[in-house]
Amino acid sequence: MARFYPKVGEKIFLQALNESVRRLIDEERSELKLTKARIRRYERKYKCNFQAFAKRLSFEGNYETHEDYGEWSYFEEKAKLISDDIANYERLAAA
């Protein structure tokens, strides 16, 4: 069919690509929401954001605090990467 109607085939391809990108954006937003919820748990537990927590970590040197630091820093980095991915996908969808 695309051989006979190349414009139709191109349009179908672009619509499918756009729909796939939109789904990716939705999936990434869901993952970002879960990741930010994990970050908020640490913010409530320590009553500060990650930067403030990292500064005072050396003064609170117990095992649990260091474990939380590792997990919290992971979720902070993950949230940044997901946000970057969403921005890239949105640029692709707008093109």
* pLDDT number for residue 10: 81
pLDDT at 3: 64
Bigger pLDDT: 88 vs 9: 88
Q: What is the pLDDT of residues 57-67, one digit of tens each?
A: 876 678 889 89
What DSSP element (H or E) covers 47? none
Chain centre to alpha carbon of residue 52: 22
Q: What whole-number distance in Å separates Cα of residue 71 and Cα of residue 76?
A: 9
What's the mean per-residue pLDDT of the chain? 90
Task: Indicate the domain borders of the chain.
Answer: 6-94
The string of DSSP letters for 53-92 reads HHHHGGGS--HHHHHHHHHHHHHHHHHHHHHHHHHHHHHH
